[in-house]
Amino acid sequence: MNIIAISINHNTAPVEVREAVYLNNEEIKNLTHSIKNSFFSEGLIVTTCNRTEIYGIPANQNLSHQEIQNALLNFKSVTGLKPEHFQYFSSANAIKHLFSVATGIDSLLIGDNQIFKQVKDSFQTAEDLNFTGFLMKRIFDSAVKAGRRAISETGISEGAVTVSYAAVQLIEKIFSNLSKKSALVIGAGETGEIAAKHLRERGIGNLTITNRTYERAEKLAENLSAKILPFGNFKDSLHEFDIVLSATSSDSLILTKADVHAAMKKRNYNSLVLMDIAIPRDIDPEAKSIDYVFYNDIDSLNIIVQQNLTKRKEEIPKVEKIIEEELNSFLSWFNSLEVAPTIKNLRDYFEAIRLEEVEKNKNRFSSEDQEKLEIITKRIINKILHHPTVELKKYTESGANSDEAAQKVSIVRELFGMIKDDEKEDEREK
């Protein structure tokens, strides 16, 4: 199977290198137009914050990984990258790597569900640009199936593995129904933004954002259909919230124990959840001594994250088994594309010889014996072809190595003169 791929990812390159070759949507379109037909007959580009990968069916049999790599680097005008920054894949290994990406076991955060969606989006983009074909569509279907099975049949995506998500999951354990709760997110930076998105995704009833820079809070609130509270006087409204999640870059505490105590009095001591995911901390840890206050800081949340990461790592062998099963299934299908026609051609070839010889000699037999001649010669042909047919079919039933299968098929076709002139030329060039 002639598919090749290159990858630059978190395993091979530091963040500044990954950033240098990152492709936005417009760049993906332009690069696709550049390499389509000239390099690949069909293909796929996957790019996220942690990886940039190009897969394809070469339009030219002599296409090398280095040429694809150079095309990417020239497109991005990047120099100075080292060979060790890249990974190279061919044939079944290229597909296996894509399955590993789609199932999340090759992610920076093991089991990251986002990468599954990103792979699906990448295929959709490739299809919109007419970069996919018969083979890539089948690869896509298999990759999606592997990803879905990993999510549904294993625990690879269970449990929070980021502090922001761990905070929200812990909140859900305290308040079973978030739709009736109100939350205040203090800080609209990356951490606060992610936490706010998680709260919105988990169905928080009312979401409010406060930030020193009002414009940033305004932008985040608009994206999440949230309210805005001026940073200068947010403490006056603290009692209105069931959940306070703080993630600022302040050098000192922004909520003291006294602030929390005052809010609790106004709340008549209804439960209040405080999630401090800032470094250094935003909320005085002594606030946890107040009745009905549930306080967690980044240290306690990190313990949850590490426990979940350990559980996810334990699920990797199960996912690898799924990948192997789906890869074998794909290879069986792929091998059948060549094996089935070869079996038919082989039988047609022997049948033509049989008919020719029977036709030449049937007049030597009586009418009654001619019928017997037909039966006997057909039985001889069936016995001769039985073992070769069984051996060839094994490649479609066992998911055997596709390169090995292709080699066997090529030998059979050439031995019995079933290989076309252009195929012979291709074989001589390899």
Q: Catalytic amino acids?
A: 49
Beta bridge partners of 207: 183
Write the DSSP string, 73-111: HHHHT-----GGG-EEEEHHHHHHHHHHHHTTTTSSSTT
Rounded distance between C-alpha atoms, residue 203 and residue 186, angstroms? 19
**Nearby residues of 313 by Cβ (< 8 Å), 6 or more positions away:** 110
Rounded distance between C-alpha atoms, residue 430 and residue 427, angstroms? 5
What is the residue type of 148? R
Q: What 3-state class would DSSP assign to 279?
A: coil
Q: Give how far the C-alpha of residue 155 lies from the chain's centroid of Cα atoms, to the nearest Å.
A: 16
Rounded distance between C-alpha atoms, residue 192 and residue 213, angstroms? 13
Rounded distance between C-alpha atoms, residue 75 and residue 35, angstroms? 10
**Nearby residues of 87 by Cβ (< 8 Å), 6 or more positions away:** 6, 7, 8, 9, 11, 12, 97
